[in-house]
């Protein structure tokens, strides 16, 4: 009987976020494939489990994948998990999933904690779209090139960043997007969780006044383009006035957004933010 590959999400800080399905997946696994055996060993120990653990990071996953797929084909259940969070997001898990699908093997995903989604919800940005770019480039020139390519994207821009490079990245963001609000989220679900929302230049000032260096995993979220940043010639006062008329007439907000898209040459996400911020 053919086995399966199970992608298991693990807590990003608070062990209380481990799911019943995740525990069952570990219990039923023939082997657990991980980025760092030390990290996952601690998690398994806290659950009272003793499983065969295989280290499989970016350096070795291409070499180990054929062996893992062969074991699945012979009937074994192989669990893959990241150090923390949802696998295949900025880790080598996607390579293994793609290879398993190419071989026609069963892949099961156990959902759970995600720093990306936790930070997005905590940001409070009103939008229907976001772009996730993984870890920001290390070099300033590459950062600037990336920001320029995303300038006209009507979405929240989300990146992971090392605490050691966060201030430098915030300075680059302040230069590229001076009018946008930015959220710094770190240590999510942990004891010292922190979510700050302000322009990037203000975040740089805030961090520069601290006595201790920044620690913990960092997520940076750049808000969607404000009205002032767009080159559209539409009168925003006219858009708001029309939206208010429709809302006061009893139209639902979702219907107002749909109606405004037919009347104004403005991106839907921008209209969505305008309508949902209006008080009637």
Segment 178-199 mean pLDDT: 96
Residues paired with residue 156 on neighbouring β-strands, in sequence order = 130
Is 231's pLDDT higher than 60?
A: no
Segment 196-223 mean pLDDT: 95
The answer to whether 32 and 54 have CB atoms below 8 angstroms apart is yes
Confidence (pLDDT) at 220? 98
Confidence (pLDDT) at 232? 59
pTM above the 0.85 mark? no
Over residues 92-149, the pLDDT tens digits come to 899 999 999 999 999 999 999 999 999 999 999 988 899 999 999 999 999 999 999 9
Confidence (pLDDT) at 135? 95
Measure Cα distances from 125 to 11, 18, 136, 158 in Å.
24, 27, 20, 12
Over residues 38-80, the pLDDT tens digits come to 999 999 999 999 989 999 988 999 999 999 999 999 999 999 9
Nearest in space to 84 (alpha carbons), one of 153, 122, 36, 125 = 36
C-alpha angle 56-57-58 in degrees, rounded to nearest 5:
130
Measure Cα distances from 57 to 94, 140, 171, 213 in Å.
12, 27, 31, 28
Q: What is the b/e burial string over 156-192, where b = at least 16 CB atoms within 10 angstroms of the residue's CB?
A: bbbbbbeeebbbbbbbbbbebbeebbbbbbbbbbeee
Q: Please give the residue that has the higher pLDDT: either 231 or 238.
A: 238
Is 198's pLDDT higher than 90?
A: yes
Torsion of CA 72, 73, 76, 78, to 10 degrees: 10
The two tokens of residue 263 are: 């009347």
Nearest in space to 198 (alpha carbons), one of 170, 218, 232, 240 = 170
Nearest in space to 90 (alpha carbons), one of 12, 144, 1 = 12
Over residues 19-39, the pLDDT tens digits come to 999 999 999 999 999 988 999
3-state SS record for 255-272:
HHHHHHHHHCCCCHHHHH
Share of the chain above pLDDT 90, in %: 74
Share of the chain above pLDDT 70, in %: 98
Task: State phi, psi for 264 to the nearest 5 degrees.
Answer: -130, 145
Give the torsion sign (CA, 221, 224, 227, 233): positive
Residues paired with residue 34 on neighbouring β-strands, in sequence order = 55, 81
Confidence of residue 163 (pLDDT cuts 50, 70, 90): very high
183 contact partners, CB below 8 Å, separation of at least 6:
119, 122, 123, 124, 125, 195, 196, 197, 219, 220, 221, 223
48 contact partners, CB below 8 Å, separation of at least 6:
none
Is 213's pLDDT higher than 80?
A: yes
């Amino acid at each position: 009987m053919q086995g399966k590959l199970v992608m298991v999400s693990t807590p990003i800080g608070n062990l209380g976020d481990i799911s019943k399905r995740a525990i069952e997946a570990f219990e039923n696994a023939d082997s657990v494939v991980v980025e760092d055996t030390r990290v996952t060993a601690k998690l398994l120990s806290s659950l009272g489990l003793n499983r065969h653990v295989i280290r499989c990071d970016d350096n070795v996953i291409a070499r180990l994948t054929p062996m893992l797929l062969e074991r699945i084909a012979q009937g074994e259940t192989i669990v893959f998990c990241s150090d923390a969070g949802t696998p295949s997001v900025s880790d080598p898990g996607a390579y293994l999933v793609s290879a398993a699908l190419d071989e026609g093997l069963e892949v099961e995903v156990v959902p759970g904690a995600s720093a990306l989604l936790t930070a997005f919800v905590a940001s409070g940005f009103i939008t229907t779209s976001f772009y996730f770019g993984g870890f920001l480039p290390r070099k300033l020139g590459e950062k600037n090139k990336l920001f320029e390519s995303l300038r006209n994207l009507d979405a929240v821009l989300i990146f992971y960043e090392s605490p050691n490079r966060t201030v430098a990245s915030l300075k680059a963001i302040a230069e590229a997007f001076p009018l946008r609000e930015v959220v710094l989220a770190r240590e999510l679900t942990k004891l010292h969780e922190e979510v700050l929302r302000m322009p990037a230049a203000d975040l740089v000032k805030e961090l520069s006044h601290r006595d201790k260096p920044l620690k913990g995993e960092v997520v940076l979220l750049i808000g969607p383009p404000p009205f002032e940043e767009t080159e559209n010639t539409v009168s925003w006062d006219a858009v708001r006035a029309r939206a208010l008329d429709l809302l006061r007439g009893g139209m639902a907000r979702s219907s107002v957004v749909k109606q405004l898209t037919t009347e104004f040459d403005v991106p839907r996400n921008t209209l969505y933010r305008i309508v949902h911020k209006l008080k009637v």
